[in-house]
Structure 1
Amino acid sequence: MHCYGDLVSYLSYGMILTGLWHLVHHRTTQTSYGRHMGFPPPARMVPARLAWFLQEMPALLIPLLLMLTSYKPSSVGKYQLLGSFCVHYFQRTFVYSLLTRGKPFPLGVMVAAGFFCSLNGFLQGHYLLHCAQFDDEWSADYRYKTGLLLFYIGMAINIHSDYILRNLRKPGEEVYKIPAGGLFEYVSGANYLGEIVEWFGYAVATWSLPALSFAVFSLCFIGPRAYYHHRFYQEQFKDYPKLRKALIPFVF
């Protein structure tokens, strides 16, 4: 398959600009789902488990299809990198979505997220398989090793933090409680911190504009959400830990 270099650049810069737009547009309010849902809620809602499954699936399915239709034995390093991307979305599609106890999603939010995951799945898969030029020594490069290490550390933090959040409430409960354990001892958005570390690690490992654009988008999208979660906890709980930060331990 031909490398559509201009399309890759347009999508990458578009993702960065969209992330920055979101950061500015939502500087005072957050996207309306979960605890930040407006009242009254939208008329069309989707159960949380189904919404997460449907919106995350394209980011797994599209790269897998690209790999199956363009396999080349000489590109093992590329498949290892894209495989890591798919590991994240396998976990989000088949584990996180089926275990979550979140509130129903507005249909519009689910559709927008699914559209983004489709574009990003294509962007990351197409770039790595058809555009990236990695020599045989790339897997020995410090950027590759450091980036993948950060990716899997971030993924472990994200999964562990989701586990803590999921077990704060019993099935059927809707009350909010103070999370504790893991990096929640230091930040309110430990799950978001883990995911941000993941994607910046991935950007280092691939050393590419598409991966960097996704990392920047993730920071702009879920970074502010961590801040508003932090403020929510402070407003809800008078005994909320004073030294706990929003996203970056000891800093912010």
Structure 2
Amino acid sequence: MRFFDLFDEKNERRLVDLLAGLMIGIAPIVHLIVVGGIKIPYGRHTSRSWGPALSARVSWLLMESPAILVPVYLTLTVNADVPFTNWILLAMYITHYTNRSIIYPLRIRGGKASPIFIVFLAFVFTTCNGYMQTLYHLRCANYDSDWIYQPNFIVGASLFIWGMRTNIICDGILRDLRKPGETGYKIPHGSMFEYVSCANLFAESVEWTGFALASWSIQAAAFAIFTTLMLSARSYTHHEWYLKKFDNYPKHRKIFVPYLI
């Protein structure tokens, strides 16, 4: 018996609602922990005190791969008549993680190792979220055929596209800061980096906020809330690091939201 068959339709909806509630519940806790001083130990904040580590490329592949593997597995094994609009929303989710779990790791230049413990936590999260988003959009959601013409979908899809495009551009800016053989950190410039310290993280938050609007579901909203609180906390620690590291760091740059925060 497949794991997917263990749940009838009623229990499946309860499961995805439970997962969404848990995600919303832990989001502010994680935010406060990170802002409070416990930095996530990878990248510039890597610490050997967290135990054995894996290379940056391997870490990203392992952390993000469930976000592709789980949806693909469920898509291939689901036994349901899925409306076209549901496929569009699921395709948005998979498109992001195709870049994040395959293309992005392959383009990493160097990068610092990540503790295995952090990789494991991220692996669990992407597995659960991939399961929740896919199960909801394949088995629980029932969108009308004209859903894609509704204002929330149009605005949400537009934000998603802008966020993903900007996220990829900003990742490229960070990647190109160092020439082959160079080490150390530099101040990023260009695109949304002129407004916030962590433009790539801000753009990803916009991306998932757009997805939540387009989906109009508690499951997508839960992921957007968690992402925004997590990435804003990381942006805070990065911003503080930049200010301490560089005397000439642009003072007008905000932490996470252009012109505001």
> Normalising TM by the smaller chain, what interval?
over 0.9
Q: Runs in 1 of length 4+ with deviation above 6 angstroms?
A: none
Q: 2:100 aligns with which of 81, 87, 92?
A: 92
Q: Secondary structure of 2:65's partner?
A: helix
How far apart, in 2, do the equivalents of 1:140 and 1:71 lie? Answer: 27
Deviations 1:8-58 (A, max 9, x none): 1110010011111101222222211111123x4444110000110111010
> Any conservation in 1 of the 2:82–2:139 contact (CA below 8 Å)?
no
Q: Are residues 1:136 and 2:158 paired?
A: no
1:118-133 equivalences in 2 (<5 Å): 118-133=127-142
State the TM-score, normalized to the length of structure 1.
0.95
- For 2:148 and 2:79, how far apart are their aligned partners in 1? 18
Percent identity of the aligned residues? 39
Equivalent in the alignment of 1:24: 32
What are the within-5 Å matches in structure 2 for residues 28-177 of structure 1?
28-29=36-37, 30-38=39-47, 40-70=48-78, 75-101=83-109, 102-177=111-186
Residue 221 of structure 1 and its aligned partner are, at CA, apart by 0.9
* Alpha-carbon distance change, 80 to 153 in structure 1, aligned in 2, over 3 angstroms: same
Q: Distance in 1 between matches of 2:257 and 2:71?
A: 31
Distance, in Å, in 2 between the alignment partners of 1:172 and 1:57 is 29
Q: Is the 8 A contact 1:13 1:213 kept in 2?
A: yes
Selected match of 2:218 from 184, 188, 209: 209
Cα distance in 2 between the residues matched to 1:67 and 1:75:
13
Kindly provide the amino acid, as one letter, of the partner of residue 32 in structure 1: P
Inter-partner Cα distance in structure 2 for 1:6 and 1:71: 19
Mean Cα displacement is larger for which, 149-158 or 163-172? Answer: 163-172
- Counterparts of 1:171 and 1:44, CA distance in 2: 27
The CA distance in 2 between the partners of 1:192 and 1:25, in whole Å, is: 18
Provide the rounded CA distance (Å) in 2 between the counterparts of 1:114 and 1:74.
27
Matches of 1:192 and 1:44, distance apart in 2: 26
Once residues 65 and 16 of structure 2 are traced to their aligned partners in structure 1, the CA distance between those partners, rounded to angstroms, is 21
Instruction: For residue 165 of structure 1, report the CA deviation from its aligned partner.
Output: 0.2
Letter in 1 for 2:158: L
1:15 aligns with 2:19: no
Check whether the contact 1:154–1:194 (CA below 8 A) recurs between aligned residues.
yes
Q: Distance in 1 between matches of 2:33 and 2:112?
A: 24
Deviation of the 1:92 alpha carbon:
0.6
Deviation by residue 1:72-91 (Cα, 9 ceiling, x = unmatched): 66511101110110000000
Tell me the equivalent position of 1:226.
235
Q: RMSD between aligned alpha carbons? A: 1.4
The answer on whether the counterparts of 1:67 and 1:79 sit within 8 Å (CA) in structure 2 is: no
The letter for the 1-side match of 2:191 is G
- 1:140, 1:75 → 2: CA distance? 15
CA distance in 2, matches of 1:45, 1:74: 41
Letter in 1 for 2:162: I
For the 8 Å contact 1:199–1:215, the answer to whether it is kept is: yes
Q: Which structure 1 segments of 5+ residues have no match? A: none
Under a length normalisation based on structure 2, what TM-score does the superposition of the two structures give? 0.92
Q: Is the 8 A contact 1:223 1:247 kept in 2?
A: yes
Please give the per-residue CA displacement for 1:133-168, whole angstroms capped at 9, x wherever unaligned: 211121211111111111010001100000000010
